[in-house]
Structure 1
Amino acid sequence: MVMNSKRVDLPQAGASIEVALGQTILEAALASGIAYPHGCRSGRCGSCKSRLNSGEVDLREHSRFALSVEEKAEGLILACRAIPKTDATVTWLGGADELADHPRRRLQCSVVGIEDVTHDIKIVRVRPKDGRPASFTAGQFARVTFPATPTRDYSMANPPGADELEFHIRRVPDGVASNLIHSVLDLGDPVMVEGPFGSSFLREKHAGPILCVAGGSGLAPIKSIVETALARGMRQPIHVYFGVRTENDLYLVDHFEGLASIHGNLAFTPVLSDQASGTALRTGYVDAVVAKDLPDLDGWKAYIAGPPPMVEAVMVVATNRRLRVEDMHADVFFTPDEPLASAAAG
């Protein structure tokens, strides 16, 4: 044993690791070749949320959206922020059979499609130059570098196995990368795609109902999850809620309504938060609509993707309706330059 190191048992991996002084559990696990679920590695996304079964850890600064005060009180930690103070036993949320274990690759790609779908969202399609489909599980994301732009995280919107990768990119006010993509990106431009990352992916062994809630361009991973679930013959009820401000912010409505007309287990509900009149669609905040429609979520799986306030609100609703934390999978879309301290948990 290395001096001052701590032993951490990882039952799902069938392994014990030595965590050096000042090292996080995630760092040590990855260095040992263990495919520990993770995403951002910076305490923002919650992909590495785990249960501390025994022992003590110090937690570095993290977002309250990744780990709430209530979750900490229940014994949950973030492996990417947790530094063991004692020997410990830790389990990530979900079983070992739910681990999306894909080889991480860096793919040289080319832009093959650009489509304006709303006033501030483009669908960009890229194709790997080696002709090999990217390996990922529906709901995961990649780190994408377009020409002359900083690297950003974008979720794949297509099902796995396709020849192309589809990304939904919203123009962020004062966003360096998104503004360049919206203004100068062209067909044929080179793109570097690294991945996959993230643990908010489709659990195909789950037989109970599924709730999907998307806000804005958070529709991308939800689209991948829904299309994959239907293609794989998952027959349980799938409820999709798409929250935006006004009808001008909606996109792919015809696509989802078309899927719902073919698959009787799929329900698609657009929700408008800032349009109280002049529409036949549901209005209000999407979390309130979910709360009204679904009083009991015991036995469900939930996949939530979008801006932090929306994700947090839906998570509160789901928890109050008996959804277990192990059955809640969220992608939080942070502005890349947002200081972590501004969203830190107490």
Structure 2
Amino acid sequence: MADTHRIRFEPVDIEMDVTEDDKILDAAFRQGIHLMHGCREGQCSACKSYVLEGDLQMERYSTFACNDAEVAEGYVLLCRAHAFSDCTIELLNFDEEELLGGVPIQTLSARVEAIEPVTRDIVSLRLKAERAFEFKPGQYVDITIPGTDDHRSFSMATTQSTPDELEFLIKKYPGGRFSALLDGELAVGDELSLTGPYGSSTLKDGHVLPVVCVAGGAGMAPILSILRHLRETGSTRPVRFYYGARTAADLFYLDAIQELGAELAGFEFVACLSESAAGSDGLVVEEGNVTDIVERREAELHRSEVYLCGPPPMVDAALALLEATNVPKDQVFYDKFTSPATTDGV
């Protein structure tokens, strides 16, 4: 049996036990401690922390997320780290509301109810869960690839108004291990295993700042969940939604967005098309990259809460813009997913 050690987190004064076999982030989730996280695969730096005391060792990780100099100095990725002694760890990023108030991690099965293409490379996957599944708008789950121990992460597009009916928007990649199943291998009635919810890019109830949403590709899903929750709770916060795509043919759920917007305060949807605006009649469209258009149109981003979801290059560009325009970090929410370029597929 693996030895157990005591972990103390500063400056939040929280302690927990962890075995040497456990990754610290996973152990924290099981004990109801919701640390900041992103990809959970050592590819981003959302869970980067600093070791004040103790012996930690990491599994394989990307040096883009934590370089050799940082590791030598004492920085660590909690999603890859194992403790081999009692440790004191300084959390560099944390959300006090989420730390001990997050939704417990659950594992449950769900039945496929529908698989429908919504664009040439994005598919809607609708599932019926075996029981009500609790999550917050903007969060995601791990779906196990049938017949394997591997999983892929997808955000919910739905809300707690239908707690056992879940929708995911999934981008298909050539050779993608899960997305390939959507071309006929996965069928209505099949069962899938879900674990979650994960993610810290959640809508914060009680906040009053205007909301700016920036998404691309399948990043539409968590933004839809956020917009639906704002409508269902009667929010009066102004909302602007910028969606990046290549052409008008890559846009989808426009009617649903229009219906949501009709019941939201000061709502505006801007389709940002990087290649061509042909065929976009009747829409508010701007040509160019989504982050360039946000920069042009949003003179006071620092007075907003910004929610991001999309391909890693889009998220990186958006984060650079937000830093350059002095948006406080506690007003920026995102979960940075890895892409097929950094993993073996999605």
Shorter chain as normaliser: what TM range? 0.7 to 0.9
* Residue-by-residue CA offset, 1:33-62 (whole Å, 9 max, x unaligned): 533343543223555356x59789999644
Gaps of 5+ in 1: 341-346
- Quote how far apart the aligned CAs of 1:244 are: 0.6
- Quote how far apart the aligned CAs of 1:160 are: 2.2
TM alignment of 1:26-175, pairs within 5 A: 26=25, 29-30=28-29, 34-48=33-47, 61-62=61-62, 64=64, 78-80=77-79, 87-90=88-91, 92-96=93-97, 101-129=102-130, 132-145=131-144, 147-148=146-147, 150-162=150-162, 163-175=164-176
Q: Is the 8 A contact 1:47 1:199 kept in 2?
A: no
Q: Secondary structure in 2 aligned to 1:194? A: strand
> In the aligned structure 2, how far is the partner of 1:29 from the partner of 1:263?
37
TM-score by length of 2: 0.80
Most deviating of 84-93 and 96-105 = 84-93
CA gap 1:236/1:264 in 2 versus in 1, 3 angstroms = closer
Letter in 2 for 1:134: F
- Quote how far apart the aligned CAs of 1:68 are: 10
* Residue-by-residue CA offset, 1:306-338 (whole Å, 9 max, x unaligned): 111111011111111111222222223323572
Q: Secondary structure in 2 aligned to 1:184? A: coil
* Residue-by-residue CA offset, 1:272-308 (whole Å, 9 max, x unaligned): 1111556452110000000001122224221111111
Identity %: 33
Q: Is the 8 A contact 2:241 2:270 kept in 1?
A: yes
> In the aligned structure 2, how far is the partner of 1:42 from the partner of 1:311?
17
Q: Which residue of 2 aligns with 1:322?
A: 326
> In the aligned structure 1, how far is the partner of 2:32 from the partner of 2:280?
53
> In the aligned structure 1, how far is the partner of 2:293 from the partner of 2:261?
19
Q: Is the 8 A contact 1:47 1:198 kept in 2?
A: no
> In the aligned structure 2, how far is the partner of 1:254 from the partner of 1:108?
31
Most deviating of 177-186 and 108-117 = 177-186
Gaps of 5+ in 2: none
TM alignment of 1:1-346, pairs within 5 A: 8-12=8-12, 14-16=13-15, 26=25, 29-30=28-29, 34-48=33-47, 61-62=61-62, 64=64, 78-80=77-79, 87-90=88-91, 92-96=93-97, 101-129=102-130, 132-145=131-144, 147-148=146-147, 150-162=150-162, 163-275=164-276, 279-280=280-281, 281-335=285-339, 338-339=342-343
Q: Is the 8 A contact 1:240 1:269 kept in 2?
A: yes
Letter in 1 for 2:156: M
Letter in 2 for 1:153: S
> In the aligned structure 2, how far is the partner of 1:284 from the partner of 1:57?
49
Q: Is the 8 A contact 1:107 1:194 kept in 2?
A: yes
Q: Secondary structure in 2 aligned to 1:256? A: helix
CA gap 1:68/1:227 in 2 versus in 1, 3 angstroms = farther
- Quote how far apart the aligned CAs of 1:158 are: 0.3
Q: Which residue of 2 aligns with 1:344?
A: none
Q: Is the 8 A contact 1:43 1:80 kept in 2?
A: yes
Q: Secondary structure in 1 aligned to 2:184? A: helix
> In the aligned structure 2, how far is the partner of 1:68 from the partner of 1:282?
38
CA gap 1:236/1:87 in 2 versus in 1, 3 angstroms = same
Letter in 2 for 1:157: A
